[in-house]
Amino acid sequence: MPSFVFVEDKGDADIPIVWAAEPDGAWYIAFCAYEGHGLMKRLDVSHILVTARIGAGLVADLHDIHQVMLHEMGHALGLAGHSPSHHDIMGAPPRPEVSGLSSRDRNTLKALYARPIGARILGARRD
């Protein structure tokens, strides 16, 4: 499984976290931005953009920011889709009682990282 290390110099980060003053487009609290490599058929995470605002200038609370950042890190780690369950951090909002990765989130990450590089896992299913 991947691990995380905070770095002092932003140039040393594999996944930069960038703060924005206001949302841009349809997203609000955070957004995982990809950069495509067409010939290689590969996407890399260019950054995660965070604004911590929920429309109309309202500021998100720490619980919401934590949930959304976990969700966006899931995308950054390769979970491109969304879970059909609101009990998973990779489920679509609202996720009222979710405070971390569910067992299904963990199992999906394990399955993804057990596959050969370039393999895809298609479709979410209900347990």
Q: Which domains does the chain have, with CATH numbers?
A: 10-114 (3.40.390.10)
Q: pLDDT for 63-118, tens place per residue?
A: 888 888 888 888 888 887 888 888 898 887 767 678 788 888 888 888 888 888 76
Return all residues near 68 (Cβ < 8 A) that are at least 6 apart: 29, 30, 60
Distance between CA 67 and CA 90 in Å, rounded? 9
CA 65 to chain centre: 12
Burial of residue 114, with CB atoms counted within 10 A of its CB: 0-12 exposed, 13-18 middle, 19 or more buried: exposed
* Percent of the chain whose pLDDT exceeds 90: 0
Per-chain mean pLDDT for the chain: 78
Instruction: Determine the Cα–Cα distance for residues 118 and 23; give it in Å rounded to an integer.
Output: 32
Continuous H helices in 50-102: 62-76
pLDDT of residue 64: 83
Amino acid at 111: A
Structure-token pair, residue 125? 């299913």
In this predicted structure, the answer to whether residue 40 has a pLDDT above a threshold of 60 is no
CB contact set of 43 (below 8 Å; sequence gap of 6+) = 34, 35, 36, 37
Cis bond before residue 84 (omega within 30° of 0):
no
Say if residue 79 is exposed, middle or buried (CB neighbours under 10 Å; 0-12, 13-18, 19+).
Answer: buried
pLDDT at 127 over 50: no
pTM: 0.76
